[in-house]
Structure 1
Amino acid sequence: MSMKRLLHGIGWFFLVLMTAFATAALFYSTVEPAALRISLTVLCPTSILAAFLGRRYILAPASLATIFIIFWGWYLTDPPRNDRDWAGEYALPANATLNGRVAHIEHVRNFTYRTTEDYTPHYYDADYNLDDLSSLDLVTSYWAGETIAHVFLSFGFKDGRHLALSIETRRQKTFAYSAIAGFFHHYETFYVAADERDLIGVRTDIRKERVYLYTLTLSPQARERLLLSYLAEIHRLTLQPAWYNTLTDNCTTGILTRAQAKWRYRLDWRVLLSGYTASLAYDLGLLQTHGLSFPALKQASRLYRPANAVPGNSFSKDIRTKTIP
């Protein structure tokens, strides 16, 4: 193959790739009204195709360059926002402030769910003394196969309370959830600070997902640093919203970012395929194993709830009686 043909093929590849990305980014954008968003989605590939078909003319390369400059100029400056019409569970963000050794969390979410769509919103404010931080659990929740799971953490305190912290997509009322949309500027990043009755209970009792709870063996100092990193980011997002990205800034990579993990761990395939994150934690010696192999530990760590159970005041204690003592 000649160098000219090779370069020609590479050029084709990047043109198709850029066209596909730009078209999808516009389709999954937050541009309103919807008619404008759809119009731009159609106009983008149409304009690129027209410029390409006119490639024999001297202005065609300039036209293609102009189209992509306009697109990237918009995409790279498209700002995340905190003032959209959010879906109910993402309407009120948490905030965190630190007064000495006491963390004050505003808007700890504690919804009462009857179905996934029928719930009563409820929030409370709470203070957590860092000196009372006593445990840290890794939670993985599966709704389909074994490859993908939602992964989050729950911090335990000496008085029996647990603060569950989950990195999620902040969805607008207008749009249904889409995994593909998360690869583009569609969702803002949302840190849910919640009671376990909400964050775990909705998964075990309402959605009937397969939920696993593992105890992490981080040192007290590491647990505190991780919690403080979460709290700092929760506060920062109230002032400076950020885009969520399914590939680079998701529920699992966000945990590793907060933990300041090395890049070789962030790029591990078990992070990209989040259903295997607990397996990675096991291999790194971060889980309390009780001498079990990972398959046995996973089986023992699954949370089983009675039929028709609802999360009550003893929920956190109840789910831990289903794990290894």
Structure 2
Amino acid sequence: MLRLAEDSPDQLKEGTSANIRSRNTGNSEPAAPRKASRWLRTAAVLLGLTIILLSVFFGFAIHYWLPWPEWVRTFGAWAFPILTCGLWFLPLRHRLARRTAVLLLVSGLAFAYAIKTPPSQDWVALMEKSPHMERQGDRITIVNFRDAAHAPGTAPVIHWTRADFDLSTLDAADLILQPFGDLKGLAHVMLTFRFADGRHVIISMESRQAKGQSFDPLAGFFRRDPLYPILATERDLIWERLARTPPDPVQIYPLLADKAVLRQYFERVLAFVNAIHRQPIFYSTLTESCMTTFINLAPEAFIHVRWYDIRRWVPGYSLSLFQQLGLVDHSMPAETLALRRTLPDGLSAPQGFASDAAWSAYIRQSLDGPTPAPAP
């Protein structure tokens, strides 16, 4: 005989209330699991986007970073993101195993990328030797001080010397800007320090180029080239740019800072040069470039630039920043100042002057007054 169970009035009331709550919410799933499910979906989307970005990044890294033949690097640059994204996103079997393989592959590349140090290579002649400093008190000797002679259309004649300077006689410094044509955001930044005898040490932070390579700003994001400080005469680094066809514009801005701060700045730069002579580091378009390296080394008394100021990262817009900080003449708009501080066309080559100091004085007189003739 079949017996039907009877529910008590309280049980019926409780069940009715639950049904009403379920109909009102439209979902019988409890609130806590729903919230956890949303977080999991969000995390899955973010992880997928991270995998896409890392796949593209390491695709570029394979192209710029690994010392393989170019066709292998080009193939790897395309194949790596396609492979990793395919393994991660395609709706195939063994999804957990495929995604684990992708995570291991990306993690392995990231580890190798992080610990990589610049390898020794066959460098171009102008970057063949690594400069460094020897010091005894105020007396310093710059080893592998470059003094190359440049002439239009011919290979430079390179001289590597040992140059002695007395830090107690450092009396001024200039900012050098080299704009790149009509691309307003692009420029090269150099610093030059003057001593009482009229000689200068001009410093340019560049990416060191192996033979057969050329400068590529994208490569600076992917640890291809070492950072290379050039310590040289002005008749080398400035005339190198003026001797090109057509000549590059070069602007010279006297720095408005006292001698003690300039000396501290120069000493910090030289200490950095010695450090990377012992252990090379990579050039970085963002963090160790022609401009950011100098900003990183600047004493707080000299310059302090917020990390979010775009002019810190884009040298072509840096002049207004230096004016705002009071480091260069700020009595006129940046565009007017740039016109006044650009070296004129038709300057005489340094070979016609008795010394580097004489040529340095000559090019500055071309900005401050009538252009003098070279010494006989």
Q: What TM-score do the two structures reach when normalised by structure 2?
A: 0.79
Amino acid across the alignment from 1:12: G
Residues 1:202 and 1:12: Cα distance change in structure 2 (over 3 Å): same
Residue number in structure 2 paired with 1:280: 321
Amino acid across the alignment from 1:105: I
Matches of residues 46-195 of structure 1 in structure 2 within 5 Å? 46-52=82-88, 53=90, 56-57=93-94, 58-81=96-119, 83-115=120-152, 118-144=155-181, 145-195=183-233
Offset of residue 114 of structure 1: 2.5
User: SS state of the match for residue 367, structure 2?
Assistant: coil
User: SS state of the match for residue 185, structure 2?
Assistant: coil
Q: Does 1:299 align with 2:339?
A: yes
CA distance in 1, matches of 2:116, 2:70: 17
CA distance in 2, matches of 1:202, 1:254: 22
Residue number in structure 2 paired with 1:268: 309
CA distance in 2, matches of 1:28, 1:108: 30
CA distance in 2, matches of 1:225, 1:54: 61
Offset of residue 146 of structure 1: 1.8
CA distance in 1, matches of 2:338, 2:75: 49
Offset of residue 34 of structure 1: 4.4
Offset of residue 236 of structure 1: 1.2
Task: Answer yes or no: is the 8 Å Cα contact 1:54–1:60 preserved in 2.
Answer: no
The gaps in structure 2 that reach 5 residues or longer are 1-37, 370-376
Offset of residue 44 of structure 1: 2.2
> CA-to-partner distance for each residue in 1:149-205, whole Å, 9 max, x for gaps?
000100001101011011110111132221111111111001100100111111123
Offset of residue 8 of structure 1: 4.3
> Which is higher, the Rg of structure 1 or of structure 2?
2
Residues 1:175 and 1:205: Cα distance change in structure 2 (over 3 Å): closer
Task: Answer yes or no: is the 8 Å Cα contact 1:201–1:311 preserved in 2.
Answer: yes
Offset of residue 54 of structure 1: 5.9
Residue number in structure 1 paired with 2:366: 322
Residues 1:20 and 1:280: Cα distance change in structure 2 (over 3 Å): same
CA distance in 1, matches of 2:323, 2:45: 44
CA distance in 2, matches of 1:55, 1:135: 68
Task: Answer yes or no: is the 8 Å Cα contact 2:55–2:85 preserved in 1.
Answer: no
CA distance in 2, matches of 1:270, 1:33: 37
Offset of residue 37 of structure 1: 3.7
The gaps in structure 1 that reach 5 residues or longer are none
Residue number in structure 2 paired with 1:210: 249
Offset of residue 246 of structure 1: 0.2
Task: Answer yes or no: is the 8 Å Cα contact 2:305–2:312 preserved in 1.
Answer: no
CA distance in 1, matches of 2:91, 2:111: 24
Q: How many residues align?
A: 321
CA distance in 1, matches of 2:43, 2:153: 52
Taking only aligned residues, the RMSD between alpha carbons, in angstroms, comes to 2.2
Residues 1:287 and 1:184: Cα distance change in structure 2 (over 3 Å): same
Offset of residue 39 of structure 1: 5.3
